[in-house]
């Protein structure tokens, strides 16, 4: 009787009646069809005792409430068996412009790059305190318009800015982020501040943790000015305070779930922000708002202090206005911390230079062909060819059913928010439709453990198939969402940088550069080369200039 009997019992967790009476063979028979199973009468009879035992174990487990941030013992590793990557870290030298002046129109300062702002601070043409107050005022002026701010961290920011100025005046300059303001997605914990996760159920929540990303930026001397919105529990752009807006079109949401991070960065309310992605949450709002977003390789940035949605899919990365800025921020936040066991310490050898004579670049032709209008995408390829790149067509395909992402993501998300579901606090979430989290968490209780494990076995097969394609190239170009590109590359853990590549109907369009595992440096260098000969990253929404 080893026919996957354990999966049947999971459904009974949602039916209180089974905790009060014996499970019957008739109940098992009615349940089987939910799991694509069919047992005989004798098989059901033999299974009853074990299923009732499992149920008692579950009831015991439920007496031990687990907080969202308690990780499972199982760890995901994106590296296919036998794959080797470079392990030697070289020094990085950031190019800081020497002749940067304060603009005549002070609002222009809002769209200066990180290196330009750093030059002003280092040369003492502006203090960190002045710069911080400038961005805080912009957040106060435009935050409600965009509905992109959960809370201003003004007291923290002013203290950090004064400290930065004191350190710099004494000659203790920490580097290019010293004194630079930034915002974080409000699923990252900071002591003595509310960490709402965008959800009414948690809008008063205070977590006594400092997210590693925040700690690393503080060590670099950066100044945290705001906690920015996310769609509730990291879905979409609707949160308990409203809907975060696209600064290019205020009638449109900014997409999500890193809604506030992309919106605020695009509108010049912060020089850069931190976002997270499980399945499109950096790429999608960057696409809508025209920002540059880096979704790093899985396991590059510690998620300690971040809300868990899916332990094997969650990633943290920067949302900026250029590839160079993304590289600067990524270098500061990456690396091990001894708290997130999935994080590796592979090197980030960014030079900012792309030698197109040596780089092998491809584009996913079937993804391009599936677009109704691929003119912007083809123009991107043509621009890179003019820079000297040889670009060849590649087929993007896998034999694995991509829908496994639903089984994996929803299983992990339902576990992460088990306490929310069981306490009925899920009723406080803004969205309650068929595709909302509250419904998805309930439905995911019917996903058998055996199917979750088998989905991950198929995932391993997908990882090998996709890496066999990607590893033949240094960079592969693709539209952001065609042919399940986002789902597949999130499952495999490969890095992507999304950048603006044009405009349609006065709104930005973007494209993705896919890289090899742990090689964010190359895709960022190619993205920078593209941005140096185009001006799409230098255009900003008129209302916020």
Read off the pLDDT of residues 197-218 as tens digits, 9 standing for 90 and up.
999 999 999 999 999 999 999 9
Beta bridge partners of residue 498, listed in sequence order:
293, 512
- 32-36, 286-290, 398-402, 476-480, range with the lowest pLDDT: 32-36
Mean pLDDT of the chain, nearest integer: 95
Mean pLDDT of 6-32: 61
How many other C-beta atoms are found inside a 10 Å radius of the C-beta of residue 231?
28
Strand blocks (E) in 395-438: none
pLDDT at 91 over 80: yes
Q: Which pLDDT score is estimated for 15? A: 41
Q: What is the C-alpha to C-alpha distance for residues 472 and 467, in angstroms, rounded to an integer?
A: 9
What average pLDDT does range 250-268 have in this prediction?
Answer: 98
Taking 90 as the threshold, does the pLDDT of residue 50 lie above it? yes
Query: What pLDDT is attached to residue 61?
Result: 94
In whole angstroms, give the CA distance from residue 68 to residue 470. Answer: 34
Distance, in Å, from the CA atom of 108 to the CA atom of 129, rounded to the nearest integer, reads: 18
Q: What are phi and psi of 335, to 5 degrees?
A: 105, 165
What is the band of 7 on the pLDDT scale with cuts at 50, 70, 90? very low
Compute the average pLDDT of residues 162-186. 98
Reported confidence tier of residue 120, pLDDT bands at 50, 70, 90: very high
CATH of domain 106-337+351-398+459-544: 3.90.1300.10
Residues 469-497 have pLDDT tens digits of: 999 999 999 999 999 999 999 999 999 99
pLDDT at 21 over 80: no
Enzyme catalytic residues: 185, 257, 281
Q: In angstroms, rounded to a whole number, what is the distance separating the alpha carbons of residues 166 and 179?
A: 10
pLDDT value at residue 428: 86
Strands (E), 165-271: 181-185, 223-228, 238-239, 242-243, 245-246, 249-253
pLDDT tens digits for range 376-417 = 999 999 999 999 999 999 999 999 999 999 999 999 999 999
pLDDT for 41: 93
The pTM is what?
Answer: 0.94
Mean pLDDT for 343-365 is 97
Which runs of E-coded beta strand occur in 191-321? 223-228, 238-239, 242-243, 245-246, 249-253, 273-277, 292-295, 315-320
Q: How many CB atoms lie within 10 A of CB 14?
A: 12
Beta strand 361-364 with 391-394 is parallel
Whether the upstream peptide bond of residue 528 has omega within 30° of 0, thus cis, is no
Other Cβ atoms less than 10 A from the Cβ of 274: the count is 28
Q: Does residue 259 have a pLDDT over 70?
A: yes
Please name which of 117, 122, 544, 132 lies closest in space to residue 329, comparing C-alpha atoms.
Answer: 117
pLDDT of residue 16: 41
Where in the chain are the domains? 106-337+351-398+459-544
């Amino acid at each position: 009787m080893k026919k996957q009997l354990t999966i049947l019992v999971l459904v009974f967790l949602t039916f209180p009646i089974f905790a009060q009476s014996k499970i019957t063979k008739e109940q098992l028979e009615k349940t089987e069809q939910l799991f694509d199973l069919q047992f005989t009468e004798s098989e059901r009879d033999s299974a009853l005792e074990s299923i009732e035992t499992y149920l008692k174990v579950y009831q015991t487990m439920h007496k031990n409430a687990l907080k969202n941030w308690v990780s499972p013992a199982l760890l995901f590793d994106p590296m296919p068996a036998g794959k080797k990557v470079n392990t030697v870290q070289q020094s990085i030298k950031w190019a800081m412009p020497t002749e940067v002046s304060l603009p005549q129109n002070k609002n222009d300062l809002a769209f200066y790059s990180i290196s330009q702002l750093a030059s002003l601070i280092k040369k003492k043409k502006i203090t960190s305190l002045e710069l911080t107050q400038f961005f805080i005022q912009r957040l106060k002026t435009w935050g409600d318009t965009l509905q992109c701010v959960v809370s201003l961290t003004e007291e923290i920011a002013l203290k950090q800015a004064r400290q930065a100025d004191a350190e710099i005046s004494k000659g203790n300059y920490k580097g290019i982020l010293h004194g630079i303001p930034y915002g974080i997605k409000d699923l990252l914990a900071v002591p003595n501040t509310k960490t709402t996760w965008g959800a009414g159920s948690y809008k008063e929540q205070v977590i006594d943790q400092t997210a590693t990303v925040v700690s690393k930026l503080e060590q670099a001397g950066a100044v945290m000015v705001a906690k920015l919105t996310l769609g509730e529990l990291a879905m979409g752009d609707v949160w308990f305070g409203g809907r975060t807006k696209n600064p290019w079109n205020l009638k449109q949401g900014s997409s999500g779930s890193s809604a506030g991070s992309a919106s605020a960065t695009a509108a010049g309310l912060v020089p850069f922000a931190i976002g997270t992605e499980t399945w499109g949450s950096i790429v999608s709002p960057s696409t809508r708002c025209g920002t540059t977003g880096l979704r790093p390789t899985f396991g590059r940035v510690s998620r300690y202090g971040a809300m868990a949605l899916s332990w094997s899919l969650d990633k943290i990365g920067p949302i900026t206005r250029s590839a160079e800025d993304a590289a600067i921020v990524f270098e500061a936040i990456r690396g091990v911390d001894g708290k997130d066991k999935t994080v590796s310490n592979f090197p980030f050898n960014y030079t900012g230079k792309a030698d197109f004579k040596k780089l092998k670049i491809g584009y996913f032709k079937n993804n391009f062909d599936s677009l109704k209008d691929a003119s912007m995408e083809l123009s991107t390829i043509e621009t890179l060819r003019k820079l000297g790149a040889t670009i060849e067509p590649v087929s993007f395909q896998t034999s694995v059913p991509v829908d496994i992402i639903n089984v994996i993501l929803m299983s992990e998300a339902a576990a992460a928010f088990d306490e929310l579901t069981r306490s009925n606090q899920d009723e406080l979430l803004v969205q309650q439709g068929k595709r909302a989290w509250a419904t998805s968490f309930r439905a995911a209780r019917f996903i058998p453990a055996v199917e979750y494990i088998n989905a991950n076995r198929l995932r391993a097969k997908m990882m090998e198939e996709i890496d066999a394609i990607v590893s033949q190239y240094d960079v592969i170009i693709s539209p952001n969402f065609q042919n399940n590109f986002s789902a597949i590359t999130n499952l495999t853990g490969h890095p992507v940088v999304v950048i603006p590549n044009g405009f349609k109907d006065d709104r930005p369009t973007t494209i993705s550069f896919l890289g090899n595992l742990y090689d964010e440096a190359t895709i960022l260098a190619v993205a920078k080369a593209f941005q140096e000969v185009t001006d799409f990253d230098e255009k900003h929404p008129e209302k916020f200039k």
